[in-house]
């Protein structure tokens, strides 16, 4: 019993003494803003809307939200990732305006990985979805 009281007394004296010192505490949370994982991540957003119609009374609409992310692994290696959230469909603009029942949503990812070992050498792997010589608009596929 005597040993327990001495231990409790020593702990009660050490805790306030240790509280006065600012001891370093590692931040092990990968989602903390001070985390080295997130310090190399840059993120931005964009949004767009377009619509069109012809004289025959048919038309279309398209809205797009894009989340742009860039992560720099090192000064020589970086990754770009775009997540495009697209909503599109058709409409009638003749005598009475109406939206058709073909409203669709798609997520279209795009990325590129660039490695530049020197100023004169550049390697890039890219996956893109868009208007690259396609017969029909990319949002109809």
The confidence score (pLDDT) of residue 46 equals: 93
Give me the pLDDT at residue 113, please.
93
Using a pLDDT cut of 90, give the percent of the chain over it.
25
Question: Rounded to an integer, what distance in angstroms lies between the CA atom of residue 29 and that of residue 27?
Answer: 6
Q: How far apart (Å, rounded) are the C-alpha atoms in residues 67 and 57?
A: 34
Q: Where are the domains of the chain?
A: 40-140
> What pLDDT shows up at residue 24?
66
Alpha carbons within 13 A on the beta-carbon side of 104: 11
User: What pLDDT, on a 0 to 100 scale, did the predictor assign at position 79?
Assistant: 93
pTM assigned to the model: 0.58
Average pLDDT score over residue span 107-112: 90
Predicted confidence (pLDDT) at residue 134 exceeds the cutoff of 60: no
Higher pLDDT, residue 94 or 58: 58
Convert the pLDDT of each residue in 14-64 to its tens digit. Answer: 666 666 666 666 666 666 666 666 788 899 999 999 988 887 778 888 899
What are the backbone angles phi and psi of residue 100, rounded to the nearest 5°? Answer: -75, 170
Beta strands in 18-120 (DSSP E): 41-53, 58-74, 77-92, 98-99, 104-118
Q: Is the separation of the CB atoms in 11 and 3 below 8 Å? A: no
pLDDT of residue 132: 44
Is residue 74 predicted with pLDDT exceeding 80?
Answer: yes
> Pick from 56, 54, 50, 109: which is nearest to 79 by CA?
109
Beta bridge partners of 39: none
């Amino acid at each position: 019993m005597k040993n327990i009281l001495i231990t409790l007394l020593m702990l009660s004296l050490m805790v306030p003494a240790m509280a006065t010192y600012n001891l370093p505490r590692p931040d092990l949370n990968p989602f903390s803003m001070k985390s080295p994982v997130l310090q190399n991540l840059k993120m931005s957003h964009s949004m767009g809307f377009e619509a069109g119609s012809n004289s025959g009374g048919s038309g279309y609409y398209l809205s797009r939200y894009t989340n742009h992310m860039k992560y720099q692994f090192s000064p020589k290696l970086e990754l770009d990732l775009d997540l495009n959230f697209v909503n599109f469909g058709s409409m009638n603009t003749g005598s009475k305006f109406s939206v058709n029942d073909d409203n669709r949503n798609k997520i279209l990812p795009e990325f590129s990985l660039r490695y530049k070992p020197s100023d004169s050498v550049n390697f890039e792997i890219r996956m893109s979805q868009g208007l690259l010589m396609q017969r029909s608009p990319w949002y109809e596929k």
